[in-house]
Structure 1
Amino acid sequence: MPRLSVRSGKRLAPLSKIEVYDLRVAGRKIVLCGVAFTKPQSLRAIVTDAARRDYQGLALTCKPVGKGTPCDGNIASKLGDAIVVQCLTPDGADLAAKLAENGILCGQPAQAGSTYKSCLSGS
């Protein structure tokens, strides 16, 4: 599998692993900026299965925080061993927005303002 250079933001790579707390693109651990899993842990397996079914293998172009993402200036560019990124599908759709709209993840206003749908506000 090719290595993804998230710095360039110009290469497509498949979303290869989906766990609520472990997303990987081309083997590289990522955190999507502006969204998080904030639902009860009892829903974790169901939500993970839904995300895998709908998104695993999806080609993505990712750019790190600090390179023009909705989270620039609001979150670190790395969390542990994961790089914090915004990922777009080939048609330009924001993966975090899709996951928030589908109720899989929840928007985090402290990171990205009102860019992503928050589970608390229903917005």
Structure 2
Amino acid sequence: MTNVSSVIDHYRALCELSWRMLRLAQADSWDELIDCEAEYVLELARIRERDRAQVLSDRDRLEKRALLETILTQDRETRQLLDARRDALSHLIGSSRRQQALGKAYHAGRGSIASRLRSIPPEERM
């Protein structure tokens, strides 16, 4: 029975990591989220090893199902936050590119206007 509870313990740990990832995403702690995700992947690998060989009782199967539902819900919420962050970064990158293009156009145009003005005597510029 120790091995069975061990499998459920790993699902609990995975659920806890999933919860931490959601909280980190909500707090915009993206670097910490990446670190936590690495722990999550390792825990998932541990579960895969143990889960294949285990036969769970009805009670353990119900708990496993509840944990998986919670993990999936948290994962969906985390992904929504990640998608929003990706969209915000895409918008910032697009704005930055537009500003760079405008800056280049301004400087390019400024140079040509300045060179044209230099060739016209000051009294004729008005």
TM exceeding 0.5: no
Higher strand share: 1
Q: Which has the higher contact order (CA 8 A, sep 6+)?
A: 2
Higher helix share: 2
Answer with 1 or 2: which has the greater Rg. 2
- Calculate the TM-score normalised by the size of structure 1: 0.23
- Calculate the TM-score normalised by the size of structure 2: 0.23
